[in-house]
Structure 1
């Protein structure tokens, strides 16, 4: 894990928890936690959530935003069930029913993951607990027509799963469509400008912690993916989305640069390359999660 930015962010989060534990006023400290998207690199974010949850930080953040694969991580964290989020990553996200790159027309079966989130005996998300959390939970999505970013705040079970589904809906490699109140949305990682900028501007936090769930140094999409987005998968995308989807790493970097150079203290945490976006080895996933937890323990000492 690689830290970038202002370490005062960590101090502010710890101070907020101290004030909460003492029953003292803490509204002047409004930290925002953003969990970004990065497929199996979400192991970094799961380790983050496990550490924070085990240390009693589940309700310390004023705002929690999950984007793309960061959305289910954020949802489990809000519900206090990050351990099940780890199981989802290890078991369900490595299942061929979810990701199968030989199933070219439908490489990522998002509805399979949504079925786990809704119905699995152990790993389903406890929506009631997530909505009870004092932390305000948002799912970052992109408008299908314009690629504009939007934050969806769930208020009941229906809006919860609609927002979650929209945020992870990889419209290029998944044929499913998701509408919320008659508006079609897709994966929040496709938004332009990035959801990160939208979240900071709209929520006005005092401190920002961004877990990118990306490896430091990833500066462009693979050429093959870019070509497919403009050819084979082009019929699934609007004009604006087709442009935004291939420059999403640029949009991410622009948002991070803006956040780090802005007036709000911001910290960004990157992956260190111990896991890749397409990793399917459960042992590597588990190792990355545990390594992430240890890294956070040292940071918060």
Structure 2
């Protein structure tokens, strides 16, 4: 269907407005991802300090034995997105979490969900959610959310103190050139391989570690700090990946809009050229008609004069 210049101009103006919005969202994704990346790097340094504390504790008091005989059901914490414009981020993670729950030997699995849209995606997978929390809206909110999750885990733990919890974290992480992928990592119990590695690590300082707190309280404080750092890192990683996914999607949208704008520009040029050609043809046709009309008028008087003239011998 042939389009007019007015219609093409309206479509071009609308697409330019859409491109402006997409470019703004792409810029915001870049700006938002940077603080989360810095927060993830900062918490890694804090986590190293906590691990140094665990190392000194194990050096002073020896290895920690697992005395629990009974394991409680699994607790799965799922970090989703509530801001949208990041593709099927929540749906992919929900399917991965559903597969993990189906393959779990512990029953039932208690699910803590971060994000209302993530809760909808989990509901589509027929996963029952114990509690839904609001995601962090900024870097300052990461610590708040991590503390809320630790408090919730302590509440669950207090329901059955004789049993140990197995806590896992599900979120989307960056995967190099492949983009992103959903992962499930263990939070509790503390990785025994980590404790063994810290126990076997030699103490390099000439001064032996000294503690002013009771060993039990100190160990609980170190464990809580370890949980906080791990949760903080997972939240920051999820938010960083979310913004990276949004950036990739906005880049694709921007390219699609640019391609459409280029197509409209070509159509506009073609329609404008057709209109110019039509106008030129109208001018030429009008000029030819006018010229022929003037030529006809110029020949008409001489013909009439010759027809009306009477020969002299006819009188």
User: Shared topology, TM-score over 0.5?
Assistant: no
* TM-score with structure 1 setting the length: 0.27
* TM-score with structure 2 setting the length: 0.26
